[in-house]
Amino acid sequence: MPLLKVTIDNIEVEVEAGTTIMNAARIIGGKVVPPAMCYYSKLEGSGGKCRTCLVKVAQGSARDPRPMPKLVASCRTLVQDGMVVQNITSPEAMESRQAITEFLLINHPLDCPVCDQAGECHLQDLSYVHGLQETRTVEERRTFKPIDIGDKIKLNMNRCILCYRCVMVADQITEKRVHGVLGRGDHSEISTLIVKAVDNDFSGNMIDVCPVGALTDNTFRFKSRVWFAKPMDAHRKCSKCSGKVVLWMKGDELLRVTGRKDKYGEVGEFICNDCRFEQKEKNDWIIEGPRTIERHSVISQNHYEISPGESVRMIK
């Protein structure tokens, strides 16, 4: 198969047919990568919903050079040969991204100081770059009471941006989904029908794929800010999953176990609830060493020194 040539923000890259603009941008890397709040490469059919990754297609393809009439979702639009895409170089795309960020924050409680997700929250990152300085809403925010869906998972619907990732995780890696989106429009919510518990071996991955603080780990609740914890790569022999995880340590205390997330916040391999919730002793694990964390992340604060290149290593 011949490779397709695509130009994103004046940078040319060659990709295989069937690649989306988003993934082509990820091959280039750096600032030209559009933010993704709902797209998750490991989840089939994800993306297209949050609209934060909208980009301008200034030239559709070499064969048909007309520009696309509207901004397109880069996570769901396939690259054509000779396509010219503008992301950060398009004022139109930047303006719409600012608007989308505002939409996503209209009903968000902005309770980062008491949210466990703070520091690894994609909405936080997004608002930092694209958020307005002041709020234009005076309306009351939509509020829900936080509920436990299953004994290990806390659902705080106030923080949810309805990305559908947790629904897709349940659909695609567990045997039976018992939660979903109820209602529609601004009154839609993630919930279980008639307070049914989410209880299966892989339910904890809903927490990992949640881009915001809507689904958090009950066993980690209020224990520490993530940037005070030290992430360590570790593994164990597990009959249900790969057993490859990240341990979040404070001294010798193991605060939390998560999947291994890449720089886009996506886990490489989903892990089972045994590994995540039940193995909370350091001795349960074989520790491989400190995890490499992107420098832009707040998690790298205090614990890391800058080394050449993009990423930094933890000071031992």
Partner 1 sequence: MGKQILLKNIDVPGLADFQVYRKLGGYTAVEKALKTLSPDQITEEVKKSGLKGRGGAGFPTGMKWSFIDKQSEKAKYLVCNYDESEPGTFKDRHIGKLNPHQLIEGMILGSYALGANTAYIYIRGELFYVLKILEKAIQEAYKNGFLGENILGTGYSLDLYCHPGAGAYICGEETALLESLEGKRGNPRIKPPFPAIVGLYGSPTVVNNVETIAALPWIVKNGYEAYAAIGIGNSKGTKLISACGHINKPGIYEIELGLPVEEFIYSDEYCGGIRNGNKLKAVVAGGSSVPILPASLILKTAAGEPRLMSYESLAEGGFQTGTMLGSGGFIVMDHTTCIVKNLLTFARFYRHESCGQCSPCREGTSWMEKILTRIENGQGTMKDIDLLVDIAKHVEGNTICPLGDAAAWPVASAIRHFREEFEEHVKLQKCPF
Residues in contact with partner 1, counted by CB under 8 A, come to a total of 33
Contact between 58 and partner 1 by CB under 8 A: the answer reads no
Contact between 53 and partner 1 by CB under 8 A: the answer reads no
Residue 316 CB neighbours (<10 A): 5
Angle at 25 between CA 21 and CA 29, to 5 degrees: 170
Contact between 70 and partner 1 by CB under 8 A: the answer reads yes
CB 206 within 8 A of CB 178: no
CB 80 within 8 A of CB 53: no
Among 139, 175, 252, 305, binds partner 1 (CB under 8 A): 139
Contact between 94 and partner 1 by CB under 8 A: the answer reads no
Q: Mapping DSSP to helix (H, G, I), strand (E, B) and coil, where does residue 284 land?
A: helix
Among 12, 29, 65, 103, binds partner 1 (CB under 8 A): 103
Distance CA 7, CA 161 (A): 31
* CA dist 23 → 73, 90, 102, 187, 264 (Å): 12, 19, 25, 32, 11
Contact between 64 and partner 1 by CB under 8 A: the answer reads no
Q: What is the contact mask toward partner 1 in residues 147 to 176, using x (rule: CB under 8 A)?
A: --------------xx-x------------
Reference 230, options 292, 307, 278; nearest CA is 292
| Phi-psi domain of 247 (left: phi exceeds 0; alpha: psi -120 through 50; beta: other) | beta
> Alpha helix (H) ranges present in the chain?
21-28, 91-106, 122-130, 165-173, 205-209, 273
Among 24, 53, 84, 104, binds partner 1 (CB under 8 A): 104
Reference 264, options 23, 12, 11, 10; nearest CA is 23
CB of 301: closest distance to partner 1 in angstroms?
30
CB of 213: closest distance to partner 1 in angstroms?
17
Among 59, 74, 87, 96, binds partner 1 (CB under 8 A): 96
Among 145, 176, 187, 237, binds partner 1 (CB under 8 A): 187
Among 16, 67, 91, 188, binds partner 1 (CB under 8 A): 188
Contact between 59 and partner 1 by CB under 8 A: the answer reads no
* CA dist 168 → 94, 200, 209 (Å): 29, 15, 10
Distance CA 268, CA 265 (A): 9
CB 24 within 8 A of CB 15: yes
Which of residues 30 and 91 has its CB atom nearest to partner 1 in the complex?
A: 91
CB of 72: closest distance to partner 1 in angstroms?
10
Contact between 44 and partner 1 by CB under 8 A: the answer reads no
Return the range that interacts with partner 1 (CB under 8 A); candidates 68-76, 203-211, 268-276, 291-299. Answer: 68-76
Among 23, 24, 32, 47, binds partner 1 (CB under 8 A): 47
Contact between 257 and partner 1 by CB under 8 A: the answer reads no
Contact between 49 and partner 1 by CB under 8 A: the answer reads yes
Contact between 271 and partner 1 by CB under 8 A: the answer reads no
List of residues contacting partner 1 (CB under 8 A)? 47-52, 54, 70-71, 73, 76, 95-96, 99-100, 103-104, 106-107, 136-137, 139, 161-162, 164, 180-181, 183-188
